[in-house]
Amino acid sequence: MRMREFLKGMKTEKSNYDGYGDMYFMDGDNLFNPEEGMSFHVTDGVFYTGTEDLLGTEDLLGVPSGKFFLVNADAGYEFKLPNPEIKSIGFSFECMAQFYKNFTYKDVANSFAAKRFVVADATPDSCIPHSFKKKSEESLVQFRNRIADQTPVGYTAMVSYFHRSGSVLVKDLDNSCYIIFGQDEGSYFGSELPADFNGSTVDDAFLALMPKEAVGKKFVRQGEWFFVETKEPDLLDVKLTIMPGLDLSQETDTYPFRDSEDSAKHFITYDSLYVLNNGDLVFEDPTMGHERGDHADVVLKGFYSLHRNTAVQSYSQEGVD
């Protein structure tokens, strides 16, 4: 599709852009809003506000990739496209830049325009009604935990429906890897998928992130960590039993609890911890908190084994998860 054809009739509105009215992309390479003098331009296939003679003042609007148009969600833009075959979807360029050394959000946009990055699949915001009833004494977190095993993969349980924010599966052609992007509890995140990933859809990507120990089991998730419901361990399977007080924010001999020294800490308190002969950790009555508060606390009763998702590396919009 020629750029001029793609641009024709495109309309954009910016959130909280009070007083400026609608901003239109006009047919052509130099784009502007006649009423407000708000100018736009396209450079090497990437859409920016401002004019090319005012370097450093432009703001990234977005970039097309195949049948999708990635909108700069970091700046709060929304697009309305007249061509129903082109799907616009919010995307955090800042989040993807975290995966590449010395990359900026503009480098990410340029890589899409140069087709070094391509959108393999994308899904818009999705809501699925459900019939589960939240108990009056339950918090929303408790309600989510109770129906976690019946919540579709990649979705978050709300009171009357399951919700999944728009997600984007990106293929990095230079490095032959896939990264899935979306939102988790309101924060943009990205996770690089295992090297053996051979799927093609967003759903395939979310399934590939799930640890095998959680498949078909009851579990509760906080970020990349899965608490999988289990039974009290048999003494013959236990290598070590630890009573209250362990802080797993530091790496231990039995389980690396952070991706790197830069990643956020997760803290666990519990009644008992069992280190099994195979290296698994089983907690009795665990509570997990998050250093930055990006995730709600997980409070559980009973026995749960702890497992990390399969991501090679994960980043939030602000940094390592």
Domains of the chain by residue range: 3-125+165-204, 127-161, 210-321
Where do we find the tokens 């396209």? 42
Report the pLDDT value the prediction gives residue 254, as an integer from 0 to 100.
31
Task: Phi first, then psi: give them for residue 164, nearest 5 degrees.
Answer: -130, 125
Residue 175 has pLDDT above 90, yes or no: yes
Q: What is the pTM of this model?
A: 0.71
| pLDDT, position 174 | 94
Residue 185 has pLDDT above 80, yes or no: no
Helix (H, G, I), strand (E, B) or coil at 96: helix
Is residue 269 predicted with pLDDT exceeding 70? Answer: yes
Query: Can you tell me the distance from the alpha carbon of 254 to that of 285, in angstroms, rounded to the nearest whole number?
Result: 20
CA distance linking residue 191 with residue 26, whole number of Å: 36
- CB within 8 Å of 159: residues ≥ 6 apart: 134, 140, 143
The candidate with the shortest Cα–Cα distance to 316, out of 293, 297, 288, is 293
- 307: tokens are 């497992």
Model pLDDT, residue 262:
56
What integer is the mean pLDDT of 233-243?
78
